[in-house]
Each structure stands twice: as structure tokens, then as C-alpha cells.
Structure 1
């Protein structure tokens, strides 16, 4: 599954450019895994490379054999120039190469919405560290990211699976992402703070939300606020 990531974070696996030990080390670690869960690999180009497309292709060839889905990360706020790949011309050049072939072979596609932000919305704007550079994640991002998710669902007419992320910390948050168009929900910051026990909690709360509003499944609720 090849997911063109528009303004997304919450990476599962990072390679060089995202401060990991590099693609060779990552490949060895993935090859040694024997888990039964879904594994996503987030691919971004190295900040020191000039030919970004060839760097992505190398990542796909090396890591796709281990992944249930691939994320083409075109929005890391910590990799200089990476966000330029969100332009239509640059993105078309990127995905028409071998990455597109991998996506077609796996018969899956989608978008992750959305990323950290360089803005500092309330109440963060008054924080002593608000002036630091880098992307902001977590709860302050929720409303902004959900709005973008809803807009993308409408623009794609619900034809492309969307993964909603940004500020999700409980079942109600996950439910709002689903109603805004997300088929899947992804979280990072809350998971880092609260740990694995947060997942069954979110699932239970999500089930309550669905039952409360008369939905028999998550799929029935996808895009409910966009109709």
C-alpha cells in the first residue's frame, strides 16, 4: 500500500533525514520482525541528497518487501525543502516512477491527513517555548487537522481512503476524524504519553460513540459530517 502523505507525521519507521540509523539498519531490523500487526514504513528523502526522487525510489525498493503499506512523506517540517514536493508538478514526477508501480502491484492507495504545524495556535502561542522552530503536534492540532481532513474528503469525493491524524487522544477524537472522512485513524503524541493501554480505551470509547449515534460500523460513519 503506497500512501502519498500530505502534511503528515506519526511515522512508524524513519530513515536517514528523520534522524534514524539509515535504510540498511532499518531493513535488517524489519527483516527480523515476526509480528502479526499491520506495519507501515514512512519514507522520506535525506536532507543532503539533491535528487529526491531517486532517494524515494531507493527507499521503496529496499523496504517495500517488509511493509503492509508505504508512506511517501512529502511534508517533514524538519527536512529542508521537503515540503516543496507537495507542488503538483513535483508530486506527479515523484509518484509516476517506481513508487507508482509498487502501489499498483499492491492495489492500495490513500492519503494521510495531516502533519504537525509550524503555527502556534492558542494556548500554545503564550508558552515560553512557542518561539522554537519545528513542527507542533498533539491536542492543539486537532481542530485544524480535522478541518483539512474534511476538506480533502470532499475534494476526493470519498473515493480515496484517508487516514486521519493530528491531536487524537481519545475515542471521541477518533470518532470526529471518522465523521470528517477518515477510514483509519492514526495517533502519535498521545500514544507516546499514555502508552499501549490507550488503544483499547480508544476502541471502547469509539464503539460507544458509534452506538450512541446509531452507526453499526465505522464504515457507516465515514464522512458523515461531509454529506
Structure 2
């Protein structure tokens, strides 16, 4: 990615985020280029160029398809990167509603020590949220016995559900419920979304199931989720957040 200007658009005029066409919430996912030697500069440029269109910004440090990207999940590397991205966002002259929230997307293939490091950085730097999680480089059952299990790349969909939900629960405990967590990975029903919420998710995301089932899946999940909440005596989603961590 080549800089076309040394001055960000925000230095001469106020920026209003969410300036995209149409309704809905737009999250902008920012990562580094495959061949970049200075990862932080890619993220900073992404913020300067794209944040004016975002309702929230995602620092993606967990794609398994970009060499070396996941090394940015280490405590020092993550802390340094988040500071630079926060500074890039905050130096822009925002309109009255302020800058878009900043969240970090992490991998499911993390040790307890890795999670502790990420939680510490998130709390110290007051991150607006964490997305848990990206795709996995592991091949859990029943995928491990598939002829294509040896292919490189991230695995998404249903096989990711348990792993990402366990990581979500651990992160909710480590952050003491102080940081909004977005549950992602293997959601294909209202019951799945409900399990993510009980594990600590404030919000949920899905992709693979949406590709297979189409837009009609969303109202179906919402209806099923409402049934789950009523069944277990919760009056709102807020009441159910982290229920399995108490």
C-alpha cells in the first residue's frame, strides 16, 4: 500500500464517521500487507484512509494467511501497535459524535499466557472491544480425517464453534466483563448465538452460515435467540451476558 499523500484528510477538515451509503453498521477491518516490513504504518494508513467510513474499526492481527501477522498478538507487539493506531485515530479532527470505536480481532489458537497478555493490554489501553475469534489453523474433528485437512489456511464454520467459544469464555473472565466482546466463529442458529452470549459476548458476528443460508438466516437467529432467553428466564440479552462464567 503506497501513501499518496503525507497529510491525512482529517488535518484540514472535520471527519464524520459512518459516511457510507445505506443503513446498518459498517465495521472496517484493517490488516497489514503481506510483504510489509513496517506493519504499524499499514495500520496507521488504514485508519487515516478508511476510518471516516467506519462505525467501528477492527485491528486484525489474527489472519492465518498473512505471514507473521499473528506475532503481533504478543504483549509488547500488541501494546505498541494499539498505541500507534489509537494515536492515529485520535489525532484526526472528528465531528461531534467522536471517533469510531477500536476493537482487536484475535485468533482461537492461543495459549492461556497469550490470552492473559492480550487481556492485560486491552484493559490497560482501554480498548473498546475484542472480536473472538478469527479462523483456526487447527483441524478439529471431524475435519482432521478429511482428505483436504492438510490444506493451509484458516478453518471457519461449525468446526470452529467450540474452540472459539471456549476462548471467548476465558477472555470474559480475564477481562472481568469490563470490555465488550464480540463472539464470532461457527454461529448458525439462535442457540449458537445464545451460547456465545452466555460465554461473555455482548455482540455476535457470523459469516460462513450466512454464505450458505442467505439473508433469511438473520431473522431466524433473532427469533430463536428470543426463545432461548425467554426459556431460561432472561428479560434481556444484557442479563444473559457471561451467565456461564459466574
For residues 169 and 87 of structure 2, what CA distance do their matches in structure 1 show?
Answer: 25
The Cα of 1:99 is off from its aligned counterpart by 2.7
Secondary structure of 2:78's aligned partner? helix
1:102 and 2:89 matched: yes
Q: CA deviation at 1:34?
A: 1.4
Q: TM-score, normalised by structure 1?
A: 0.84
Count of aligned residue pairs for this structure pair: 202
Q: Which has the higher contact order (CA 8 A, sep 6+)?
A: 1
The separation in 1 between residues aligned to 2:100 and 2:190, in whole angstroms, is 30
User: Could you tell me which residue of structure 1 aligns to residue 61 of structure 2?
Assistant: 74
C-alpha distance 111-215 of structure 1, shift in aligned 2 (>3 A): same
Among candidates 185, 188, 196, match of residue 207 of structure 2 = 188
Tell me what 1:12 maps to. Answer: none
User: Helix, strand or coil: the match of 1:112?
Assistant: strand
CA contact (8 A) 2:19 2:54 kept: no
Q: How does 1:171-186 map to 2 (within 5 A)?
A: 171-186=190-205
Q: Secondary structure at the match of 2:215?
A: coil
Contact 2:133 2:183 in 1 (8 A): yes
Alpha carbons of 1:196 and 1:173: their partners in 2 closer, same or farther (altered >3 Å)? same
- Give the superposition deviation at 1:83: 0.3
Q: How is 1:76-225 mapped onto 2 (pairs within 5 angstroms)?
A: 76-100=63-87, 102=89, 105-106=98-99, 108=101, 109-225=128-244
**Distance in 1 between residues matched to 2:21 and 2:54, nearest whole Å:** 12
Bigger CA radius of gyration: 2
Q: 1:73 to 1:67 in 2, by over 3 A?
A: same
More deviation in 88-97 or 196-205? 88-97
Q: Which runs of 5+ in 2 are unaligned?
A: 5-16, 92-97, 102-127
Q: From the superposition, tell whether residues 216 and 76 of structure 1 become closer, same or farther in structure 2 (CA, over 3 Å).
A: same
Runs of 4+ in 1 over 2 A off after TM superposition: 30-33, 98-108
Q: Please give the TM-score of this superposition, normalised by the length of structure 2.
A: 0.78
d(CA) in 1 for partners of 2:176 and 2:90? 20
Cα RMSD, aligned residues only: 2.2
